[in-house]
Amino acid sequence: MSLEENTDVEVSRGAPRQLVEKVLRHADANLSASLDRLFQFLRIPSISCDTSYAPQCREAASWISDELSGIGFDASVRSTIGNPMVVAHNKEANGPHVLFYGHYDVQPVEPLDAWKSDPFEPSLEEQPDGETHIVARGASDDKGQLLTFIEACRSWKAVTGHLPLSVSMLFEGEEENDSKSMESFLDEAGDELTADVMLLCDTYLWGDTVPAIVVTFRGVLEDTIEISCASRDLHPGHYSNAARNPIQVLAELIASLRGANGEVAIEGFYDDIARVDDKLRANMAELDFDAGAYLSNVGLSQSAGETAYSVLEQIWMRPACEIYGIAGGHYDGHGFKCSIPSTALAKIAFRLVPGQDPQRIRAAFRNHIRARTPVDCRLKFSDDDATYPPAVISYESPYLDSALVALKQEWNLEPVLIGSGGSIPIIHTIKRRLGLDSLPIGFARSNNGHHSANEKYDLSSFHKGIRSWIRILAELAQRANDRPLTAA
């Protein structure tokens, strides 16, 4: 396959299959140019959780807007209470209207000394297995993934002069920082984002090789507990035994959250869980999931979750309680500071499943903690931690089958419907605010290192992602036509 720039593309109005093949060949021939654009994008350090990077976030938004304008979209950068949004439209006379969502912001890069190279100077690294890795912060989450869709649109435009259906795009700059501006932005601009279905590319291949559409996501509830006992730090020679130690109190409270069989021990925690869809359970049973390999890949040998459920059920279908951080005392250097601290805190997070109301779970969690907090302890909870409900993709979506057909055409493998233990809040938000079902289709692999040092995206995933979206757009377009664009 040549990667040379193809500057002489003949637009064909022949058979639909031939037309799609022309668009695919254009994407193949211009992969090096697509990669150059990705490298430009990756060099922008658009870290959203640090306000000192606000100018770089705006630069990233402007870069996307300029690229979309360059291929004929009506694109603009929209100010918000935080980092800007990018909105773009390309309205066509025929076909359904899709809204594509992505995020241009990235996670911080610390610890820097864990990176093999500058995280904002992307590089290509050849691997012994023949793969090539694109290494940079944001390579997979989510700049490389979102660019697969833009490059697919670019090839459609280059070959035919238009898209096979109407496309709008929404890119935000705070997905990695709780999407704080999204609700207010939708209050202002939601009407212009109405469409038939939302597409997004922020998920994974199944088993790193099989195309997949994710149909269920867990929700998130986070809370911070702070325990204070004495009015100041105390000398243990004077107060040991007599004074409560907030770290010990906190450790006992944390221990009370889990039962002997790995279950969450909060009263009523499981009461409202919805029944798992039979189709998802059947799909899961057909997957070749090796729980032992899954755990050993990260240095573990056995599951710590509910013993009555398989590992795959635990991460897809069951709620969880995890401790994200614990702190107490004011010294973590060499040796000991001889002191009983006055305060300790812990960050507690829950993954929730359909049927569970985050606010009801928060109330049950806090009541559990209050009931077990001893005297002489002052208890404080955070008021601004994240809360995201679970999300479920309807199996009845009229666009699901079309996407599955397109993925099978490109990958020559039967695509699968899977669950996710993770959370993508925009799916629930867009369903609630705009009534849109979603199709989460991603091409990342489990070892891409999202949020970690040396994040990477496989060049093959970038390439196959572009080709997959070309085919998906073609198949979705058949919903307004008598025949698929890819029919013989």
pLDDT in tens, 366-383: 999 999 999 999 999 998
Cβ-based neighbour number of residue 1 at 10 Å = 7
Assess whether 409 and 462 both reside in one domain: yes
* Pick from 97, 178, 103: nearest CA to 145: 103
Q: Which residue reads 């997959």 in tokens? A: 468
- pLDDT attached to residue 318: 96
Is position 213 within any domain?
Answer: yes
123 and 230 both lie in a single domain? no
Q: 282: how many CB neighbours lie within 10 A of its CB?
A: 10
Mean pLDDT, rounded, of the chain: 92
Structure tokens at 46: 């658009």
Host domain of residue 256: 219-273+319-388
Tokens of 155: 């090839």
Please identify every stretch of the chain with a pLDDT value under 70, giving residue numbers as ranges. Answer: 1-15, 479-488
Asked if residue 175 and residue 237 are part of one domain, the reply reads no
Write the DSSP string, 178-237: TTTTHHHHHHHHGGGG--SEEEE---B-BTTTB-EEEEEE-EEEEEEEEEE-SSS-B-HH
d(CA 458, CA 467): 14
Contact between residue 253 and residue 238 where contact means Cβ atoms under 8 Å apart: no
Q: How many domains does the chain have?
A: 2
Q: Are residues 90 and 234 in the same domain?
A: no
How do residues 208-239 score in pLDDT, each as one tens digit?
999 999 999 999 999 999 999 999 999 999 99
pLDDT the model gives residue 200: 97
The contacts of residue 346 (CB under 8 Å, 6+ apart) are 224, 225, 250, 253, 254, 323, 325, 326, 327
Domain boundary among 353, 388, 423: 388
Does one domain contain both 429 and 351?
no
What is the C-alpha separation between 90 and 162, in angstroms, rounded? 9
The answer on 197 and 56 residing in a single domain is yes
Based on the domain organization, do 209 and 234 belong to the same domain? no
Contact at 8 Å (CB) between 185 and 80?
Answer: yes
Number of CB atoms found within 10 A of residue 12's CB = 13
* Residue 128: predicted pLDDT: 96
Say what the pLDDT of residue 479 is.
Answer: 64
Predicted pLDDT at 58: 98
Per the domain annotation, does 312 fall within a domain? Answer: no
Domain for residue 187, yes or no?
A: yes
What is the predicted pLDDT for the residue at 9?
A: 37
Q: Are residues 212 and 224 in the same domain?
A: no
Same domain, 184 and 253: no
pLDDT score for 483:
46
Q: How far apart are CA 198 and CA 330, in angstroms?
A: 48
Give 88's Cβ-side CA count (13 Å radius). Answer: 25
pLDDT in tens, 273-304: 999 888 888 888 889 899 999 999 889 999 99
Is the CB of residue 446 less than 8 Å from the CB of residue 457? no
CATH of the domain at 240: 3.30.70.360
Q: Following CA atoms 282, 287, 293, 295 in sequence, which dihedral angle do they give, to the nearest 10 degrees?
A: -40
Q: Among the three residues 368, 388, 408, which one is the final residue of a domain in this structure?
A: 388
Helix axes 31-42, 143-160, angle to 10 degrees: 140
Six token digits for residue 221: 């509830």
Domain boundary among 388, 413, 439: 388
Residue 104 forms part of a structural domain = yes
